[in-house]
Amino acid sequence: MVRRAFFVDGIECFNTLSLPSPVRFCVLCGSSPSSGYPAGVPGRVTSRRAVLAGMAALGAAAVLWPYTPKSRRRVPRGGRGRVELTYWEKWTGLEGLALQRLVDRFNASQERVWVHLIPVGDIDAKAMVAIGGGDPPDLVGLYTYNVPGYAEARAVMPLDEFVSRGGLQREGREGERRLEAGTESERGVGGGGSGGRGEGDGVADAEYAPGVRELLWHEGRQWAGVNTCYTLGLYYNRAMLREVGADAPTTVAELDAIADELTTQDAQGRITRAGFLQNLPGWWPYLWPAMFGGALFDAGRNAATVDSPACVEAFEWIAATARRRHGVAATRAFAAAFGRSMHSAQDPFISGRLAMIVQGPWLANFIAALNPALEFGVVPLPVSGALRASGRVDDANPVGLLEADVLMIPRGCPHPEEAYEFLRFHQQQREQEQLALDHFKPSPFAAPSPEFLARHGHPGIRVHNAIVGSRNAMVLPRTRVWKQYSDLTTAAFDAVWGGADVKQTLAGLNERAQQLIDSAEERRRQRQSGRRGESNEMKTSRWHGGLA
């Protein structure tokens, strides 16, 4: 019979059976019968087991001890008993805090609902997986490029569905009023109701700027509320421009001239100060065609147009900046040096190492916090000579990118009605403009309120607001393959920067993007022919219940 005894002195091993040859040893104490080594210091084995057991006990205690997650700690005693919603949002830091204040105002304004704002990373992937998996949050803050895809898939709830259900009584009356007034046009409802600006129903009352409305609507219905919008402008360092005696550029040629004069390189060819580089910050590689009158997508024909002459011109300009004027290696190294420093004290523009940069309005906020002494100005994006000569672009209708964050209610969420209540509060002009003030962003409404413009801390906010209202504002392609198209465009941008032939790269990109668009369209037609009209809702898991 094999010894099973265990002697606490540690002289004998736990047992002499061990893992098969060639290693024969005691698993816990490490001694080996044949090695001749003693079993270690007496008592050592016990202490090791004791520690392991202690750790297990510690682990069990950690698990069993009741722990309230941070996000839940904010609910005050009186808040229990309300319907609790989860709201996933991408923002952290100052922007997150500003939104938290809005959520706090909502929570304080009524007794029925409590909203938990939860910061989530990688939110569009997580949202899709959560909604697809049947376990979505009540509210999710996404990007405008998600709207077409989610709308077509019926993965989020169209806002007019709440109106038609009757919602809360007040909403019902307003909904009826709208229907009566016959404002159910092709472009959908969403304007004109006079239910008291600043209180009540933000969704019904909202008069968005036309560009913003385009972002929230898809195929005639509103699918999302706006959650601050932003536009991109050209920020320039006044002191540096004064150095070369230039005014803010309005054409691409002027921009290039100023940039060339201001770029300095050291003896090894490394850039010490740059005038203007399209790869800093490199977050919008698809922006540049707008400056030449080009577009990436033609919604009417459902076609990718990145190989159009204007786009080619834009990318040729990019290639020229990288290769001919400053050098690929130097520009790449310079940009890479700021990899993680954007919006910090080492930000290239804030620290004065980049004279001009295309950025969003939040930059002013960071400048005020990190380097208030910096003299800067902001103008709309310069355009090519041809575009300016055509007369389409003027001061009232500048060129720029208009983008927004959106707030949507996923289908299959636990509390859609209460989520819509929050959305109505959130869309009120007063609330949205307060949020925009805190985020240093422009107002998404067609007529920003005078107090908004007066109180805004951004000296150049009128420029950004002008782009919001401009008919030349570029919006991202309204196609459900945009995410992939955008990734491909980023790759193309990198390739062009590195020396690839522009026409070839863009032709390849266009072909691939067109393939994606066409196959997505094909699938859509196949699905619609299998559908029995509007009533075919997304199948959600039984456990999470569909809609009532």
From the list 158-166, 227-235, 457-465, 533-541, the region that binds another protein by CB under 8 A is: 533-541
Residue of the chain from 11, 57, 76, 92 that contacts another protein (CB under 8 A)? 92
Instruction: Tell whether residue 133 is a contact of another protein (CB under 8 A).
Output: yes
Segment 332 to 351, residues that bind another protein, using CB under 8 A: 332-333, 336-337, 339-340, 342-344, 346
From the list 124-132, 237-245, 259-267, 369-377, the region that binds another protein by CB under 8 A is: 124-132
SS3 526: helix
Interatomic CA distance for residues 351 and 355, integer angstroms: 10
Interatomic CA distance for residues 528 and 531, integer angstroms: 5
Instruction: Tell whether residue 269 is a contact of another protein (CB under 8 A).
Output: no
Tell me the torsion sign for CA atoms 143, 145, 146, 147.
positive
Residue of the chain from 7, 8, 9, 35 that contacts another protein (CB under 8 A)? 35
Going through 130-289 in order, the beta strands assigned E by DSSP cover 139-143, 217-218, 221-222, 225-231, 233-237, 264-265, 271-276
Instruction: Tell whether residue 368 is a contact of another protein (CB under 8 A).
Output: no
Segment 171 to 190, residues that bind another protein, using CB under 8 A: none
Residue of the chain from 196, 544, 546, 547 that contacts another protein (CB under 8 A)? 544
Q: How far is CA 111 from CA 98, 107, 527, in A?
A: 22, 7, 43
Show the site string, 436-465: x = touches another protein by CB under 8 A, - = not: ------------------------------
| Minimum distance from residue 294 beta carbon to another protein (Å) | 22
Interatomic CA distance for residues 381 and 470, integer angstroms: 13
Instruction: Tell whether residue 253 is a contact of another protein (CB under 8 A).
Output: no
Q: For residue 396, how many other CB atoms are within 10 A of its CB?
A: 10
| Minimum distance from residue 70 beta carbon to another protein (Å) | 5
Instruction: With beta carbons less than 8 A apart as the criterion, state whether 154 and 146 touch.
Output: no
Residue of the chain from 79, 132, 191, 327 that contacts another protein (CB under 8 A)? 132
Q: At what angle do helices 93-109 and 429-439 cross, to 10 degrees?
A: 160
Identity of the residue, 170 or 531, whose beta carbon is nearer to another protein in the bound complex: 531
According to DSSP, the β-strands at 113-119 and 354-359 are: unpaired
| Minimum distance from residue 86 beta carbon to another protein (Å) | 8
Token digits of residue 536: 């075919």
Residue of the chain from 10, 12, 85, 86 that contacts another protein (CB under 8 A)? 86
Instruction: With beta carbons less than 8 A apart as the criterion, state whether 114 and 84 touch.
Output: yes
Q: How far is CA 40 from CA 11, 28, 30, 421, in A?
A: 8, 11, 8, 69
Residue of the chain from 214, 303, 484, 518 that contacts another protein (CB under 8 A)? 484
Instruction: Tell whether residue 4 is a contact of another protein (CB under 8 A).
Output: yes
Segment 503 to 522, residues that bind another protein, using CB under 8 A: 508, 512, 515, 519
Identity of the residue, 136 or 294, whose beta carbon is nearer to another protein in the bound complex: 136
Token digits of residue 175: 């909904």
| Pick from 210, 178, 182: nearest CA to 194 | 178
Instruction: Tell whether residue 158 is a contact of another protein (CB under 8 A).
Output: no
| Pick from 367, 372, 355, 389: nearest CA to 248 | 355
Tell me the torsion sign for CA atoms 49, 52, 58, 59.
negative
Going through 249-316 in order, the beta strands assigned E by DSSP cover 264-265, 271-276, 297-298, 303-304
Interatomic CA distance for residues 425 and 87, integer angstroms: 14
Instruction: Tell whether residue 42 is a contact of another protein (CB under 8 A).
Output: no
Number of residues that bind another protein (CB under 8 A): 97
Instruction: Tell whether residue 267 is a contact of another protein (CB under 8 A).
Output: no
From the list 49-57, 107-115, 399-407, 436-444, the region that binds another protein by CB under 8 A is: 49-57
| Minimum distance from residue 542 beta carbon to another protein (Å) | 7
Which letter, b or e, does each residue of 150-168 get, where b requires 16 or more Cβ atoms within 10 Å of its Cβ?
Answer: bbbbebbbbbbebbeeebe
| Minimum distance from residue 88 beta carbon to another protein (Å) | 8
Identity of the residue, 48 or 82, whose beta carbon is nearer to another protein in the bound complex: 48
Residue of the chain from 12, 45, 85, 91 that contacts another protein (CB under 8 A)? 91
Identity of the residue, 350 or 393, whose beta carbon is nearer to another protein in the bound complex: 350
From the list 61-69, 158-166, 303-311, 418-426, the region that binds another protein by CB under 8 A is: 61-69
Residue of the chain from 41, 129, 239, 386 that contacts another protein (CB under 8 A)? 129
Identity of the residue, 88 or 349, whose beta carbon is nearer to another protein in the bound complex: 88
Instruction: Tell whether residue 96 is a contact of another protein (CB under 8 A).
Output: yes
| Minimum distance from residue 22 beta carbon to another protein (Å) | 5
Identity of the residue, 292 or 334, whose beta carbon is nearer to another protein in the bound complex: 334
Identity of the residue, 182 or 530, whose beta carbon is nearer to another protein in the bound complex: 530
Burial of 339 (0-12, 13-18, 19+ CB in 10 A): exposed
Identity of the residue, 128 or 502, whose beta carbon is nearer to another protein in the bound complex: 128
Instruction: Tell whether residue 19 is a contact of another protein (CB under 8 A).
Output: yes
Instruction: Tell whether residue 44 is a contact of another protein (CB under 8 A).
Output: no
Instruction: Tell whether residue 118 is a contact of another protein (CB under 8 A).
Output: yes
Tell me the torsion sign for CA atoms 327, 330, 334, 335.
positive
Instruction: Tell whether residue 23 is a contact of another protein (CB under 8 A).
Output: yes
Chain-centre distance of CA 463, in angstroms? 23
Q: Which residues contact 117 (CB under 8 A, 6 or more apart)?
A: 71, 87, 89, 96, 99, 100, 103
| Minimum distance from residue 466 beta carbon to another protein (Å) | 27
